[in-house]
Amino acid sequence: MTGVLDLPSLCLCLLIVHAVSVQVIDFITNRYPHILNRYQFPLGPQKLAEPPAAMPASLAVEGTRFTDKHGREILLRGINLAADTKFPATPEIPSHVSDNFFDGDNVSFVGRPFPLDDADTHFRRLRNWGYNTLRYLYTWEALEARGPGIYDEEYINFTVEVLRKAKQYGFYVFLDPHQDVWSRFSGGSGAPMWTLYAAGFNPRSFNVTEAALVHNTYRNPAEFPKMIWATNYTRMVCQVMFTLFFAGRDFAPKAIINGQNIQDYLQSHYINATVHLARRIKEAGDLEDITVIGWESFNEPNHGLIGYQDLTKIPVDQQLQKGTSPTAWQAILTASGRACEIETWELGSMGSYRTGKILVDPKGTSAWLGSDYPDTEYGWKRDPGWKLGECIWAQHGVWDLATDELLRPDYFSKTPTGQVIDAGVFCNTYFMDHWKRWAHGVRSMHQSSLLLLQPPVWVIPPVLDEDTKGLGRIVYAPHYYDGLTLMSKKWNRFFNVDVLGVLRGRYLSPAFAVKLGETAIRNSMKEQLTAMKQEGLDNIGSTPCLFSEIGIPYDMDDKYAYKTGDYTSQTRASDANHFALEGSLVSYTWWNYCALNNHEWGDQWNGEDLSIYGRDDTAPERDDTGRPTLEPYHDSPGDTPNTIDSSSIKGTLSNTPMSIERSSTSIGTSTGTRAADAFIRPAPVKISGVTTAYSFNLAQSVFSLTVNANATAELSPSEVFIPLYHFPRDKLDVEISDGRWAYEDETQILKWWHSGGTQTLKATGVKRFLQTFEDDTYFDMVKNVGCEIM
Ligand SMILES: *[C@@H]1O[C@H](CO)[C@@H](O)[C@H](O)[C@H]1NC(C)=O
Ligand SMILES: *[C@@H]1O[C@H](CO)[C@@H](O)[C@H](O)[C@H]1NC(C)=O
Ligand SMILES: *[C@@H]1O[C@H](CO)[C@@H](O)[C@H](O)[C@H]1NC(C)=O
Ligand SMILES: *[C@@H]1O[C@H](CO)[C@@H](O)[C@H](O)[C@H]1NC(C)=O
Ligand SMILES: *[C@@H]1O[C@H](CO)[C@@H](O)[C@H](O)[C@H]1NC(C)=O
Ligand SMILES: CC(=O)N[C@H]1CO[C@H](CO)[C@@H](O)[C@@H]1O
């Protein structure tokens, strides 16, 4: 995940966040006594003739909607699984561990995202929380760490078994080839270590040359700066790897390996690894199109140096600077062992500001492999025209090794045909060339796969040519993060910025993009997501939109919640993001569920901490009345837990009741939810007709749904997820415009039989979150500390 780089507004954001003193936030206002809700008997039959179809099977795409075999509209609401698949399980190397780090060829990801024995617990949980979709992460490294073309069949077998478990719980699954800042060896995740050797790099010298700064090799991992890993996109390793991967033929024509350009070499290995996994999933025989419904393209693709107009300048759109901030040219020099005085930056109350300069002196150590490197380990044959031990850009005349003179500062600025490259051109050319190649690869194996198209983060989606549109079943899959909250690790109820609006030039000045008060912030997020969805329709065409990443940090306010159990800030932030998703009527997969999350290291990767679940979150969260809020309510708590296991599933695959977790039989002593009030939400699941609006008002515990309906058939009613957590059976109040309904505790599904035309459903439950989302506290604050803010 990431998605917050290069925001012109970042300075402004940070100015704002620091200008507001968090102490003035009054969390104690607006608390109201618990109100009991009227109970109403369901009108419909208790048991249904047809067992609910647990198998996703045959998800159709009709224009902008997903539909099932009865023509009902399907909303995909899912979760990313999981952040910890970014690093190996054997040996276990989360980003703060340095042992075995450079043994990158001998790692195994078997056990990610969790051991098979734990899969029931995790999947049951996710199902109970209402998720019907998994964005299942794997990395290229997990498939092909040992060397080019050597796949880890054990990991693939394991993956097939985990997917079979997911099938038992009726999840829709699409696979995400995850990466961040290219690879673990350049500070992120994704590509195997050998790709760096293939490019001529020596990962062991990335630290001294600052070609990449890596958590694992950081002096004291606990002091690793917040959310800073992403700055490595503008360091040498990422700049080179993304340039070679997407445009090696144009910018590094001498980089020939096994008779092909490095671009083709890297891309074909990358694509073939995915195709191999797709083949094995097909061969499994019981997953393709039943559970595995699609594949997503390259995660958060980056343009590297492609489009740099002047290597001696920090591009104007690169606002995020922290620590040493080399220009591309300085990065080139230090990677070749030259000492450089490099500006240092800090993020402060006025945004990024320069703190000075320091001398980065690798003392002759190069990030490139020496000319004496044997280059035999991985079995490839490098063209004699590509010299090891020498900067690849020097070999292409960008600079002169003898004089250290930059000869071509604009080397990466244009395509060979002379077109000036900007973010849009990169997206429509280099990125789409890769995307098509990938799409054809996936479809060669999985003929009816959904193809999730994820363009570079924040970039306007590409315009598809007719041939590409003809592939069909394409889904626009953008990412969105509220950058202010992500970077500052605070929920600011008073100010935020319409980042998309700024990026799209909708404001004369970024100052006009500032949104004041929580209501305006929430509406702004909704408008941003709606606008992004519209950009997909305008460019990609009439396809569904699924936000494949969106989420919030949990380690807000210096981990205040971990000391106090008070997740109010997280709940408000999460609710705002969910409000935006609901208001823009999109499918989504939330980031993320991480089984290894703990309070010390978060998601175990670069200080990120976005998991809705935490191992250390075992003490029940309590509401104001002292009632534990962790476990969903159940009307008959004395019952023996009705749990699901493999034996009870056999033979009843078409009917998979999801039990409510009530006991501590699961991992840990409780379910470990974090800010559950906000992420366990009611939502339409299968709708006969078109959903025109739905929302969940957390403060009032009211769910409303409006449908442009088609009359339901007796055996295929509309289905709405109504979680017992907010709507305990004896407190559920349902009002429908027409027809009848029935509620099943087992699945937490409300079935609704209705006729055609405009239909509405309103469900009222128990108020769990005893605050409001009004802005009165903002005005109080202005009164009290007015001069401090303005
Ligand atoms: C690979 O790592 C495993 C343990 O993680 C170890 O047992 C094995 O000897 C290693 N193999 C090689 C070739 O280094
Ligand atoms: C993977 O599973 C297949 C089929 O069950 C089996 O033939 C093969 O030996 C397994 N491979 C590994 C490495 O476990
Ligand atoms: C850089 O990493 C190498 C390889 O792990 C290590 O030997 C060296 O001490 C590190 N240098 C610094 C300055 O951290
Ligand atoms: C990738 O697969 C294609 C099609 O099977 C094949 O032609 C190509 O040689 C493979 N590339 C690599 C690098 O293995
Ligand atoms: C659903 O209703 C719309 C109008 O409300 C109608 O155009 C459409 O044909 C109906 N679809 C089905 C499958 O009945
Ligand atoms: C994960 C990682 O490598 N992070 C590094 C990215 O770059 C910054 C400096 O800009 C370093 O401080 C991080 O260590």
Residue 723's domain is classified under what CATH number?
2.60.40.1180
Q: What is the pLDDT of residues 698-740, one digit of tens each?
A: 999 999 999 999 999 999 999 999 999 999 989 999 999 999 9
Catalytic site residue 600? no
Within a domain: 631: no
Contacts 24+ apart (CB under 8 A), 566-572: 566/27, 567/621, 567/674, 567/675, 568/27, 568/771, 569/490, 569/491, 570/491, 570/674, 570/675, 570/678, 571/675, 571/677, 571/678, 571/698, 571/769, 572/491, 572/493, 572/518, 572/678, 572/771, 572/773
Question: Ligand 1 in contact with 106 (CB < 6 A)?
Answer: yes
- pLDDT over threshold 60, residue 14: no
Q: What is the pLDDT of residues 397-443, one digit of tens each?
A: 999 999 999 999 999 999 999 999 999 999 999 999 999 999 999 99
Distance CA 140, CA 754 (A): 47
Is 467 within the bounds of a domain? yes
DSSP 8-state code for residue 288:
B
Locate the ligand 5 atom nearest the alpha carbon of residue 71 and give its number: 13
pTM above 0.85, yes or no: yes
Q: Whose CA is nearest to atom 11 of ligand 4?
A: 268
Q: Is 291 in contact with 163 (CB distance < 8 Å)?
A: yes
Atom of ligand 3 nearest to the CA of 102: 5
User: Which residues line the pocket of ligand 2, CB cutoff 6 A?
Assistant: 153-154, 157
Where residue 106 sits, what CATH number does that domain have? 3.20.20.80
- Which ligand is closest to the CA of 72, given by its number? 5
Strand-strand pairing, 172-178 and 133-139: parallel
Question: Which is it for the CA torsion 205, 211, 215, 220, positive or negative?
Answer: positive
Stronger pLDDT, 319 or 396, i.e. the higher one: 396
Ligand 5 neighbour 759 (Cβ under 6 A): no
Q: Cβ(269) to ligand 4 under 6 A? A: yes
Is the pLDDT score of 649 beyond 70? no
**Judgement on whether residues 579 and 692 belong to the same structural domain of the protein:** no
Q: In what order do the strands lie in the sheet with 689-697?
A: 689-697, 702-709, 757-764, 733-736
Indicate whether 150 belongs to any domain.
yes
Tell which atom from ligand 6 comes closest to the C-alpha of 186: 3
Residue where one domain finishes, among candidates 543, 565, 591: 591
Q: What is the pLDDT of residues 94-118, one digit of tens each?
A: 988 888 899 999 999 999 999 999 9
Pick the range with the lowest mean pLDDT from 42-46, 504-508, 589-593: 42-46
In the predicted model, what is the mean pLDDT of residues 228-237?
Answer: 75
85: containing domain: 77-591
Q: Which of 573, 591, 609 is the last residue of a domain?
A: 591
Catalytic residue among 73, 288, 300, 621: 300
Total number of domains constituting the chain: 2
Report the alpha-carbon distance of residue 357 to residue 341 in Å, rounded.
6
- Ligand 2 atom closest to the Cα of residue 154 is 13
Pairwise CA distance, residues 196 & 183, whole Å = 9
Residue 613 domain-assigned? no
Does residue 549 have an active-site annotation? yes
User: If you count them, how many residues does the chain have?
Assistant: 790
Query: Hey, what are 750's tokens?
Result: 């409300």
Could you tell me if 704 and 573 lie in one domain?
A: no
Of 720, 696, 693, 721, the residue nearest 707 (C-alpha): 693
Q: Select from 551, 567, 591 the last residue of a domain.
A: 591
Q: Is 716 a pocket residue for ligand 5 (Cβ < 6 Å)?
A: no
Distance CA 342, CA 336 (A): 15
549 Cβ neighbours under 8 A, 6+ residues apart: 1, 3, 80, 135, 479, 480, 481, 589, 591
In a domain, 243, yes or no: yes
Structure tokens at 242: 């993304």
> What is the spatial distance between Cα 529 and Cα 476, in angstroms, rounded to a whole number?
12
Evaluate if residue 13 carries a pLDDT over 60: no
Is 94 among the domain residues?
yes
Return the residue whose CA atom lies nearest to atom 4 of ligand 6: 229
| HEC per residue, 343-386 | EEEEEECCEEEEEEEEEECCCCCCCECCCCCCCCCCCCCECCCC
Burial class (CB in 10 A: 0-12, 13-18, 19+), 566: middle
SS (HEC) of 542-572: CCCEEECECCCCCCCHHHHHHHHCCCHHHHH
Q: Is residue 782 part of a domain?
A: no
- 788 lies in a domain? no
Q: Note whether 294 and 427 are same-domain residues.
A: yes
